[in-house]
Amino acid sequence: MGGVRLAAALALVFAAFGCTHDGPSRQPLLDLEAAARPAFVRSPQLSPNGEEVAYIKMVNGRGEIFVRSLQSGTERRIYRNEERTLDNVFWSLDGQALLYFMDAGGDEGYHLFKLSPGSQNTPVDLTPIAGVQAELVARPARAPHLLVVALNARDPSAPDAFSINLNNGVLTEIARNPGLVTAWFADDAGQVLAATEISQAGALRLLARDGEGAPWRVVFEAPADERLTVLRLAPDGRSAIVRSNRGAPVDALMQIDLATGAMAPLMAHACGRYDAGTPIFGDDGALIAATCVEVRPQIELLEQPGWTTRLSGGVEFIDRRAGKWLVRVDAGDMPGRYIIYDESSATLTTFADEHPALAGRAFSPTEHHWVLARDGLLLSTYVTRPIGRGPHPTIITLHGGPWTRDYETFNGETQLYAERGYAVVSINFRGSTGLGRETFEAGVGEFGAAMTNDVLDVTQWLIDEGIARPQRICLMGGSYGGFAVLSAMTRAPQTYACGVDFAGPVDLVTLVEAFPPSWGPFLPRSWYRFVGDPRQSADRRIMHDRSPINHADTLAAPLLVFQGANDPRVTQAQSDRIVEAVRSRGLEGVYLLAGNEGHSFANEETALAVNRAVELFFARHLGGAAQACVSAEIQAALDAMLRAGASPLSYGAPDESCAAASAPAAAGN
């Protein structure tokens, strides 16, 4: 197998590249663990009184819940789960409980758990129903002891709305799904007064009722070719706050009257040529700002100039409570930092750095470019270059979704690879969101077609501009990005030196047919429209033709695949098939299979081990640097995934100087 040939070459890789950066900065080579480790602090949330912050902090490989006093600076540890890292936490509005969602091993069957914020304690499952998937609907301001949640216990594809009394844990059904409702919306008293449903033709309907028990009525409808995202009910409960591109080239913030269905601007076109983000309301319910993501995130205050101009880099809104703002700032070459702005004193203070281990280090800046696709569509593209003159060996990263987008932000993996000598490029291909109607709509029906052309067009642009070195370009992506990797590699097999696929679908027909029941109501407006409905013979033929597995005989480059065994979206069978196809052609097929992960790698040891494997893979096929060794713990996690994927353990073997540290993990080939 290809992994055997790779093992023989690793000694040459390490002999050629030591642990010193040869660029003019003379910095030691960026350590993989420091760069690829998850943020040290993440998911902070202000308490309702603005006096404390709950957050996730990484401790010995797991995200734990902590609370810190803003006045004294003291922190207390609340909860640690040894089996799985925690990645979210939020407060009840009475400040008496901390809440978080967690699934089992990545299966996306999320339950809602409650903790006391006072001290370390044991969580209580507020949704203790086997097989249920819970989703937060609202934290009612006028009933702070309540939560409103959606639960699909009765019907996996039709969630009902429930209230949870945090004082006694009692669950009460407050709205029964009539069959097509996809989301519920509650007012500040906890009454569910609005909902959305999707018709079989893909139209999104906004429903409203005058009170609990009253009949539902359709107050607004957006056809399949019109974007409508319902964000929340207005503080007075009389209108819905939405993003809509009705009659406009971009999504704008609007409000829809729940009595009449009339739509009016809330903060129209706040983001110029980009889609608007989310509104921000003050304590009195008045609109005070909105978020935007242009080249980088920013906050658009209604009163300008505002305090955000005192911050460097992109500014991402996190939370606002009791006159305090919590924001995140970063840039392509500046690690993220959480900042608190106090309206009463007009002061800015640092709450936490995401990557304190990287403090004081210089990083490569990220450049933004508009690249012209073959049909004239402009593609928003980001380039981070290594030190030295180009052209460079290049890694093109392709985002998942595909209904999301890339923007300028600090990414430890990007800087890791830039310091190893690669240009790192991300592409917002057609179908990406946030960039206006034209870019989004251009993706309809173009999975594996024009969306893949965009990847090929940017690749050629990189070569023409002297950024990328021909024959030394690799693709990397996860989920849809993994599909895009495989699609491009089968369409243009001689263009790419290698590919890295994280849980990418290889067969569009079996992908859509295997989606969990909870996805069913969304399909007419998303996958059926963009990809095809496999129940329709014409669509099925197109989906079959555009599936990379059916063109695997054209593959000519090695592939590294990561797959979580518990993934409910892209099942293991998808990755099994492409690895088998690659290996059957005598190509390198390195397979990392994680038995305790789902659609992504949540646990720290998984993320670090995957990055280690990718680092070695790129060093092998693009010729960049790689550090000599990693910790025994990372090596052990990598060996376990290689073993599960029937890949030779020698693929991840360290050099002789690391043999002592990694010997326990190297056994059992």
Query: Residues 246-268: pLDDT tens digits?
Result: 999 999 999 999 999 999 999 86
Q: What is the pLDDT of residue 649?
A: 75
Q: What is the pLDDT of residue 283?
A: 83
Q: What is the pLDDT of residue 596?
A: 87
- Give the angle 222-225-226 at the CA atoms, nearest 5°: 45
What distance in Å separates the CA atoms of residue 180 and residue 199, rounded to the nearest whole number?
A: 7
What distance in Å separates the CA atoms of residue 447 and residue 60, rounded to the nearest whole number?
A: 41
Exposure of 91 by Cβ count < 10 A (0-12 exposed, 13-18 middle, 19+ buried)? buried
DSSP-based three-state secondary structure for 577: helix
Residue 566 lies in a domain: yes
Domain boundary among 354, 369, 394: 354
| pLDDT(98) > 60 | yes
Alpha-carbon torsion (213, 264, 523, 405), positive or negative: negative
Looking at the structure, tell me whether residues 434 and 456 fall in a common domain: yes
Locate 633 and state its tokens: 């713990």
Alpha helices of 547-595 — where are they, by DSSP H? 572-584
Give residues with Cβ within 8 angstroms of 505, minimum separation 6: 479, 480, 482, 483, 511, 570, 574
- Decide: 598 and 12 in contact? Cβ < 8 Å: no
Looking at the structure, tell me whether residues 220 and 243 fall in a common domain: yes
| pLDDT(10) > 90 | no
What distance in Å separates the CA atoms of residue 572 and residue 468, rounded to the nearest whole number?
A: 33
Q: What is the pLDDT of residue 73?
A: 96
Q: How confident is the model at residue 651 (pLDDT cuts 50, 70, 90)?
A: low
Domain containing residue 303: 270-354
Locate 143 and state its tokens: 């009933």
Domain boundary among 267, 287, 322: 267
What distance in Å separates the CA atoms of residue 386 and residue 30, rounded to the nearest whole number?
A: 12
| Closest by CA position to 560, among listed 474, 466, 442 | 474
Q: How confident is the model over 34-91, as pLDDT tens digits?
A: 999 999 999 999 999 999 999 999 999 999 999 999 999 999 999 999 988 999 999 9
| pLDDT(5) > 60 | no
What distance in Å separates the CA atoms of residue 431 and residue 452, rounded to the nearest whole number?
A: 11
Q: What is the pLDDT of residue 654?
A: 61
- Decide: 149 and 166 in contact? Cβ < 8 Å: no
Q: How confident is the model over 204-218, as pLDDT tens digits?
A: 999 999 998 899 999
Looking at the structure, tell me whether residues 446 and 551 fall in a common domain: yes
3-state secondary structure 277-293: EEEEECCCCCEEEEEEE
What distance in Å separates the CA atoms of residue 9 and residue 11, rounded to the nearest whole number?
A: 6
Q: How confident is the model over 367-392, as pLDDT tens digits?
A: 999 999 999 999 999 999 999 898 99
- Decide: 170 and 164 in contact? Cβ < 8 Å: yes
Looking at the structure, tell me whether residues 58 and 180 fall in a common domain: no
| pLDDT(3) > 70 | no
Residue 139 lies in a domain: no
- Decide: 232 and 188 in contact? Cβ < 8 Å: no
pLDDT, average across residues 304-319: 91
Alpha-carbon torsion (594, 597, 603, 604), positive or negative: positive
What distance in Å separates the CA atoms of residue 197 and residue 207, rounded to the nearest whole number?
A: 8
CA dihedral of 222, 228, 231, 236, whole degrees rounded to 10: -40
Q: HSE, CB side, 13 Å, CA atoms: give it for residue 153.
A: 15
What is the DSSP code (8-state) at residue 28?
A: B
Residue 181 lies in a domain: yes
Q: Please give the helix or strand (H or E) that residue 539 lies within, else none.
A: helix 537-545
Give residues with Cβ within 8 angstroms of 49, minimum separation 6: 95, 321, 322
What is the DSSP code (8-state) at residue 238?
A: S
Q: What is the pLDDT of residue 657?
A: 57
Looking at the structure, tell me whether residues 566 and 658 fall in a common domain: yes
| Closest by CA position to 68, among listed 301, 326, 243 | 326
Looking at the structure, tell me whether residues 291 and 348 fall in a common domain: yes
- Decide: 106 and 566 in contact? Cβ < 8 Å: yes
Q: How confident is the model over 64-75, as pLDDT tens digits?
A: 999 999 999 999
Q: How confident is the model over 17-27, as pLDDT tens digits?
A: 333 344 335 67
Looking at the structure, tell me whether residues 373 and 469 fall in a common domain: yes
What distance in Å separates the CA atoms of residue 187 and residue 189, rounded to the nearest whole number?
A: 5
Looking at the structure, tell me whether residues 76 and 196 fall in a common domain: no
Residue 542 lies in a domain: no
The residue whose two tokens read 């750095």 is 353
Give the residue with greater pLDDT, 617 vs 180. 617
Q: What is the pLDDT of residue 7?
A: 33
Residue 524 lies in a domain: no
Task: State the total domains in the chain.
Answer: 4
Q: What is the pLDDT of residue 17?
A: 30
Give residues with Cβ within 8 angstroms of 538, minimum separation 6: none
Cα first-last separation, the chain: 14
| pLDDT(404) > 70 | yes
Residue 537 lies in a domain: no
Q: What is the pLDDT of residue 545?
A: 98
Residue 518 lies in a domain: no
| Closest by CA position to 402, among listed 452, 456, 462 | 452
| Closest by CA position to 366, among listed 394, 331, 399, 396 | 331
Q: What is the pLDDT of residue 12?
A: 31
Q: How confident is the model over 480-506, as pLDDT tens digits?
A: 999 999 999 999 999 999 999 999 999
Q: What is the pLDDT of residue 27?
A: 76
What distance in Å separates the CA atoms of residue 296 and residue 130, rounded to the nearest whole number?
A: 41
Locate 272 and state its tokens: 């110029």
| Closest by CA position to 93, among listed 119, 67, 117, 65 | 117
Q: How confident is the model at residue 302 (pLDDT cuts 50, 70, 90)?
A: confident
Q: How confident is the model over 437-446, as pLDDT tens digits?
A: 999 999 999 9
Q: What CATH number did the domain enclosing 60 receive?
A: 2.40.10
| pLDDT(660) > 60 | no
What distance in Å separates the CA atoms of residue 359 and residue 346, rounded to the nearest whole number?
A: 26
Looking at the structure, tell me whether residues 346 and 373 fall in a common domain: no
Q: What is the pLDDT of residue 285?
A: 83
Q: How confident is the model at residue 665 (pLDDT cuts 50, 70, 90)?
A: very low
Locate 485 and state its tokens: 């990797």
What distance in Å separates the CA atoms of residue 669 and residue 653, rounded to the nearest whole number?
A: 11
| pLDDT(401) > 90 | yes
Domain boundary among 314, 334, 354: 354
Mean pLDDT in the chain? 91
Q: Is the pTM of this model over 0.75?
A: yes
Looking at the structure, tell me whether residues 248 and 326 fall in a common domain: no
Looking at the structure, tell me whether residues 192 and 258 fall in a common domain: yes
What distance in Å separates the CA atoms of residue 407 and residue 348, rounded to the nearest whole number?
A: 25
What distance in Å separates the CA atoms of residue 346 and residue 364, rounded to the nearest whole number?
A: 33
Looking at the structure, tell me whether residues 110 and 164 fall in a common domain: no
Residue 219 lies in a domain: yes
CA dihedral of 248, 250, 256, 261, whole degrees rounded to 10: 40
Instruction: Choose the weakest-confidence range: 16-25, 40-49, 140-149, 640-649.
Output: 16-25
